[in-house]
Amino acid sequence: MKIIKAEEVTFEYIRRDEDGNVEGINRAVDKVSLDVKEGDFICVLGSNGSGKSTFAKHLNSILLPTEGTVWIDGMDSKDEDKLLQIRQTAGMVFQNPDNQIIGQVVDEDVAFGPENMGVPTEQIKERVEESLKTVGMYDFRKKSPNHLSGGQKQRVSIAGVLAMHPKCIVLDEPTAMLDPLGRKEVIRALRALNEVEGITIILITHYMEETVYADRIFVMNKGKIVMDGSPREIFKRVEELEEYKLEVPKITLLAHELRKRGLRIPDCVLTVKELTDALKKC
Amino acid sequence: MPIIADHLTFVYGAKTPLQTTAVDDISVKIEDGQFIGLIGHTGSGKTTFLQLLSGLIKPSSGTVYINGEDIYAKDFDLHSIRGKVGIVFQYPEHQLFEETVFKDVCFGPKNMGLDQKETELKAYEALKLVGLEDEVFYQSPFDLSGGQKRRVAIAGVLSMKPQVLILDEPTAGLDPAGRKEILGLIEKLCRENKMTIILVSHSMDDVAEYVDRILVINNGKLAIDATPKEVFKHREELEEFGLSLPQVTKAMISIKESGIPVKTDAITVDEAIEEIMRVLY
Amino acid sequence: MKDITLGQYYQAESVIHRLDPRVKLVGTLLYMISLFVFNNIFCYIVAAILLAVVIALSKVPIGYMLKGMRAIMFIMIFTVIFNVFFTNGDNLVEFWIFHISKEGIRMAILMMVRLTLLIISASIMTLTTTPNRLTDGLEKLFRPLKLIKLPVHEIAMMMSIALRFIPILMEEADKIVKAQTARGARFDSKKLTERAKSLIPLIVPLFISAFRRASDLALAMEARGYHGGDGRTKLYPLKYASRDYISYAVLILYVAIIVFLGITSARIIAHLTPANSYLSLLF
């Protein structure tokens, strides 16, 4: 079963000048087709303005394609009757942690989604508790979000989505505004969700280190999907990635350069351990 | 124009239960033309320290000397410091407000009391310096890309002709290419235009590659002050502060631990390649 | 701004904290009305006793509460002075253009007591109730107004979002001020027109940011399935417990006592105090 299926998805928006006259049409997403297997950890990479965020917003009907179709767990994203169900199936976490927390207390915020769905009070309590425990924020349930760090706020946002019991979570650059510690916290939480709970993760990012453990990476450039494969397959193509204004992790780059200079190192090294092991054999 | 922080201390919410010492007795001298990296995790007090250095908040005790003058002395006109020490904050959105890029960059020199001709000349020079093309000049700053906005924000401060430029995480939220461009620009300002640079960053890899000297701040105190190579030898200490080593240094340590006799002081990819090739080839 | 205790939630576990916000809202309102309807010392003694009991039960430290009073000290002093000097009556002391009368002192003391009780009672409510519970309470209390097409849920939601974003925007304003100061902006001009003009570099970024936040938030709310108040459930639905019924009973009793005292006090006073004693100043 494919949890997400996109077929020839195109999204255009009209640019207007100050008087409202049409200046031109921008094609932010250009004939993107892809599918995502349930339970996978997917990363979508791309530089600023590559269309990756616009595409992500199609995955729970925030934006509707100008052309083409998106299916979420078999539901057409344009089907208005299924709107609530689609939003429950594919939850979404955004970049700015401050602008997506609605509640003034952590637990009240996490409850927001289930409240909208009309879940009975007793079950909301259970859901809030288990979601906060999953992301490791249960001890903060009575705190004001304003007193949390960026990483903690993002984990609360993830819990807020989790409480809706989604099959898939789409995260639109959730770490862009965080410090290294916060980034680690969020990525760790996502990996646990994927491995333990089996939730499909679609992570949109431009930090390469975060994609090392992904099952599959899509690289977007100028609205199109230009690369598609496992991290190993993607990071092999160092020069090509640079063309798309991206870079491989430093370790991969180091291994790549050593290999070019004649050392016998496998052609795609992702972690320090792999590099060390490879060098020992030289 | 050397900057000296002399027992600089800043206390928030003094005499309340929430009293915290954000900057705790920091003394340091920053020489002309140095490229300095300031690191510390969120809440370490580094932003407060920067604001003290640039005369934006008054210290609880201690003071700052710029060019030998005590900037917090009673008879010192703090307004005059703007043409000496420039500070660019993390989000360009916090300072852009004019209709066009050019007008926005004129804001600083105009505040310094320059006449229109001088103001426009300074603005033009600054925009050229940060590498913005003429066609951007009359666009709205809000329509620009993230990287371009940062450039406009930097130009907005450069137009006041400071000798010292302080940048608070200028690369946050940019993609790898954008990060490289901004860091390249900052490096150029230091090496070619001989400006003193203080760069705040979370990214060890960025700092390691560019700067001459690193100041590590932890809990409001200046914990380490040394060259990058020296700083990254303090591995345990850095970890204790919630900071990590550059990825390359981590790799070199791991390689050495596996029995290959490499030196572990490489901090950039190029240095690491050289060292590994020296040992293995 | 941070010194104002009024309106800031103080976290503690107490009966008062657990009370239904509707009880607290209705109670505070009735209490305030009672302070204004009658003004004689017996009513105030009863009111003060009730407030003292509530404070004791609330576990909010007295010092914390009084700190909040500092912010309004000025208004208080002003009111007292105004009443002392400008109430007409039999003059006790006279110098230059000032004259202090018995009625003046009486009014000043009563005003001070009244204001103190008023402010403490209002702050007790906000100190023990999270803004969210408060908006929940208001939403439920005003629910009948839905019948006349008042968007009660929407207003309550707007209030709670505003409360969440005020501290964020204040912090942001502070950052913008610093960023612009660093570019030589001055916010201290003496001339009003210049001062207004100098605010543009502050207001434009703040507005742009606020709009951005608003649109982000709308998106996030939509993504989490928000579709207005219909069919929503609550994590903490408002349900009266026995303590709430007891509180209502106490409140009714209080109102009855106050009304009784208000009506009969004139006679009691006549019995109690010999004319012209200093004590009579108070009545």
For the stretch C175-178, contacts whose Cβ atoms lie closer than 8 Å and that sit 24 or more positions apart, written own/partner, are C175/B89, C175/B91, C175/B94, C176/B94, C176/B95, C176/C201, C176/C202, C176/C205, C176/C206, C177/C202, C178/B51, C178/B56, C178/B57, C178/B89
Which partners does chain C have (≥3 C-beta pairs < 8 Å)?
Answer: A, B
- Pairwise CB contact (< 8 Å): A98 & C168: yes
Partner-chain contact B160 C183, CB within 8 Å: yes
Share of chain B above pLDDT 90, in %: 62
- Which residue of A105, A110, A202 to mutate against C (max C Cβ within 10 Å)? A105
Measure Cα distances from B148 to A39, B156, C209 in Å. Answer: 38, 12, 18
Which of A177, A206, A258 faces B276 most closely, judged by CB atoms? A258
| Residue A37: band (very low, low, confident or very high) from pLDDT cuts 50, 70, 90 | very high
Q: Are residues A189 and A267 in the same domain?
A: no
CB pair distance less than 8 Å for C183 and B56: no
Mean pLDDT of C66-83: 77
- Kindly list the distances between the CA atom of residue A8 and the CA atoms of A5, A77, B150, C35, C46, in Å, as whole numbers in the listed order: 10, 14, 35, 70, 76
Cross-chain residue pair A128–C235, CB shorter than 8 Å? yes
Mean pLDDT within B93-118: 93
**Whole-angstrom Cα distance, residue C99 to residue C27?**
39
If you average pLDDT over residues B80-94, what whole number do you get?
91
Instruction: Determine whether the interchain pair B178/A48 forms a contact, defined as Cβ–Cβ distance below 8 Å.
Output: yes
Q: Which two tokens stand for residue B254?
A: 């791991």
A254 and A264 in contact (C-beta within 8 Å)?
A: no
DSSP B221: E
Task: Find chain A residues with C-beta within 8 A of B203's C-beta.
Answer: 180
Q: Residue A102 belongs to what domain range?
A: 39-65+73-239
Taking contacts as CB-CB distances below 8 angstroms, the residues of chain A near C219 are 62, 94
Nearest CB to B247 within list A47, A251, A282: A251
The token pair at A76 is: 């057409």
**What's the pLDDT band for C282 if we cut at 50, 70, 90?**
low
Cβ neighbour number for residue B8 with a 10 Å cutoff: 25
Query: What average pLDDT does the segment A97-105 reach?
Result: 90
- Domain-wise residue ranges, chain C: 1-129+240-283, 138-235
- Residues with Cβ < 8 Å from A251, sequence gap 6 or more? A269, A270, A271, A272, A275, B247, B248, B251
Same domain (yes/no): A56, A173 = yes
Interchain pair C182, B93: CB under 8 A:
no
Q: The domain that contains A146 carries what CATH number?
A: 3.40.50.300
| pLDDT tens profile C187-198 | 877 788 888 888
Q: Which helix (H) or strand (E) segment is B168 a member of?
A: strand B164-168
Let me know whether A43 and A113 are in one domain. Answer: yes
Nearest CA among B13, B9, B112, B2 for reference residue B52: B9
Length of chain C: 283
Residues A108-127 pLDDT 10s: 999 999 999 999 999 999 99
pLDDT value at residue C7: 54
Residue pairs spanning A and C at CB distance below 8 A: 94
Q: What's the rounded mean pLDDT across residues A65-70?
A: 95
The 10s digit of each residue's pLDDT in B264-274 is 888 889 999 99
Structure-block tokens of residue C132 = 């969210």
Considering the domain boundaries, does residue A25 fall inside one?
no
**Contact map slice: A 141-200 vs C, CB within 8 A:** 142, 145-146, 160-161, 164
Pair (A181, A265) in one structural domain: no
Contacts of C184 in chain B (CB under 8 A): 79, 82, 107-108, 111-112, 160
Residues A166, A87, single domain; the answer is yes
A267: phi then psi, degrees, rounded to nearest 5: -80, -5
Element containing residue A3 per DSSP (H, E) = strand A2-16
**Is A6 a domain residue?**
no
Residues A89, A163 within the same domain: yes
Q: What angle do CA A222, B174, A48 make, to 5 degrees?
A: 15
DSSP string for residues in C56-104? HHHT--HHHHHHHHHTTHHHHHHHHHHHHHH--SSEEEEETTEEEEHHH
- Nearest residue in chain A measured CA to CA from B244: A180
- Partner C contacted by A24 (CB < 8 A): no
Distance between CA atoms of C104 and C110, rounded to whole angstroms?
A: 10
B147-196 pLDDT tens trace: 899 999 999 999 999 999 999 999 888 888 888 899 999 999 999 999 99
CB contact (8 A) between residue C220 and residue A102? yes
Residues B197-238 pLDDT 10s: 999 988 888 888 899 999 999 999 999 999 998 998 888 898
- Output the average pLDDT for chain C: 83
Lowest mean pLDDT among A188-197, B219-228, B245-254, C272-281: C272-281
Residue with the two structure tokens 């598609």 = A228
CA distances from B84 to B3, B27, B164, C181 (A): 10, 20, 6, 14
Paired residues of A69 in beta bridges: A7
| CA dihedral angle for residue A61, residue A64, residue A68, residue A71, rounded to 10 degrees | 10
Cβ(A271)–Cβ(A251) under 8 Å?
Answer: yes
Among A93-107, B89-103, C70-84, where is mean pLDDT lowest? C70-84
At C24 the pLDDT is: 94
Question: What is the reported pLDDT for C271?
Answer: 65
Which residue from C175, C200, C209 is facing B89, i.e. has the nearest CB?
Answer: C175
Q: Identify whether the C-beta of residue A32 lies closer than 8 Å to the C-beta of residue A222.
A: no
In this structure, what are the phi and psi dihedrals at residue A192, rounded to the nearest 5 degrees?
Answer: -65, -45
**CB-nearest partner of B202 from A180, A257, A276:** A180
Q: Which residues of C155-185 are buried (b: 16+ CB within 10 A; e: fewer)?
A: ebbebbbebbbeebeeebbebbbbbbbbbbb
3-state SS string for A15-27:
EECCCCCEEEEEE
What average pLDDT does this structure show over A17-37?
A: 85
Q: What is the DSSP letter of A194?
A: I
How far does A23 lie from chain B, in Å, by closest CA? 14
Radius of gyration of chain C (CA): 24
Structure tokens at A139: 């001890």
- What pLDDT is recorded for position C13? 87
A14 lies in a domain?
no
Proportion of chain A above pLDDT 90, given as a percent: 68
Phi-psi region of A15 (alpha: psi -120 to 50; beta: other; left: phi over 0): beta
Quick one: chain B helix, strand, coil %, rounded to 5?
Answer: 40, 20, 35
pLDDT per position as a tens digit, C98-149: 677 777 787 888 888 888 888 888 888 888 887 778 888 988 898 888 888 8
Cβ contact A220:A28 at 8 Å: no
* Residue A115 covered by a domain: yes
Token digits for A141?
């349930």
Burial class for A147, CB neighbours closer than 10 Å (0-12, 13-18, 19+): exposed
What is the helix (H) or strand (E) element at residue C197, kind and residue range?
A: helix C192-198
Q: How far apart are CA C60 and CA A5, in angstroms?
A: 56
Is the pLDDT at B280 greater than 70? The verdict is yes
* Binary contact (C175, B94; C-beta < 8 A): yes
Is C223 in contact with A92 (Cβ distance < 8 A)?
Answer: yes
Task: Tell me the C-alpha distance between A124 and B63, whole Å.
Answer: 54
Q: Specify if A170 maps to a domain.
A: yes
Residue at token pair 């050495």: B256
B249: three-class secondary structure by DSSP:
helix
- In this predicted structure, the answer to whether residue B108 has a pLDDT above a threshold of 70 is yes
List pLDDT tens digits, range C175-229: 999 999 999 888 877 788 888 888 999 999 999 999 999 999 999 999 999 988 8
Which three-class secondary structure state does DSSP give residue A276?
helix
- Cβ <8 Å between B269 and A254: yes
Are C219 and A62 within 8 A, CB to CB? yes
Q: Are residues A133 and A262 in the same domain?
A: no
Q: Report the pLDDT averaged over residues A6-20.
A: 85
Mean pLDDT for all residues in chain B: 91
* Nearest neighbour of B160 by CB, restricted to C179, C184, C200: C184
Cβ separation of A100 and C167 shorter than 8 Å?
A: no
Tell me the residue type at A243: E
Q: Answer whether residue A221 shows pLDDT above 70.
A: yes
Q: Is C225 close to A125, i.e. CB distance below 8 A?
A: no
Asked if A42 and A201 count as a contact pair (C-beta separation under 8 A), the reply is yes
Same domain, yes or no, for A197 and A281? no
Name the phi and psi angles at B77, rounded to 5: -85, 105
* Surface of A (90-149) touching B: CB under 8 A: 149
Regarding whether A263 and A233 lie in a shared domain, the answer is no
Measure C194 CA to nearest chain B CA, in Å: 13
| Cβ within 8 Å, pair A114-C233 | yes
Same domain, A225 and A183: yes
Helix residue spans in chain A (DSSP H): 52-56, 83-89, 106-110, 112-117, 121-134, 150-162, 180-192, 231-235, 238-243, 250-260, 272-280
The structure's pTM equals 0.84
What amino acid is encoded at A20 in this protein?
Answer: G
Contacts of A251 in chain B (CB under 8 A): 247-248, 251
**pLDDT per position as a tens digit, A132-167:** 999 999 999 988 888 899 999 999 999 999 999 999
Regarding whether A227 and A188 lie in a shared domain, the answer is: yes
Number of cross-chain residue pairs from A and B with Cβ atoms under 8 Å apart = 95
CA A218/CA A39 separation, integer angstroms: 16
Identify residues of C whose CB sits under 8 angstroms from chain B CBs.
2, 172, 175-176, 178-186, 200-201, 204-205, 208-209, 212
- The total domain count for chain A is 2
Contacts of C178 in chain B (CB under 8 A): 51, 56-57, 89
CB B37 within 8 A of CB B228: yes
Which pLDDT belongs to residue C272? 60
Residue A88: inside a domain: yes
Chain-chain contact of C217 with A113 (C-beta, under 8 angstroms): no
Q: Note the pLDDT of residue C6.
A: 47
Whether A281 and A192 share a structural domain: no
List of chain B residues whose C-beta atoms are within 8 Å of the C-beta of residue C179 = 89, 94-95
Burial B190-220 (b: 16+ CB within 10 A, else e): beeeebbbbbbbbbbbbbbbbbebbbbbbeb
CB-CB under 8 Å, B86 with C184: no
Looking at residue C97, its pLDDT comes to 65
Q: What is the mean pLDDT of residues C263-282?
A: 61
Return phi, psi of residue C101, to 5°: -115, 165
Q: Quick check: C3 pLDDT over 70?
A: no
Q: Which residue out of A62, A64, A95, A102 would a mutagenesis test of the C interface target, given it has the greatest number of C Cβ atoms within 10 Å?
A: A102
DSSP assigned state of A195: I
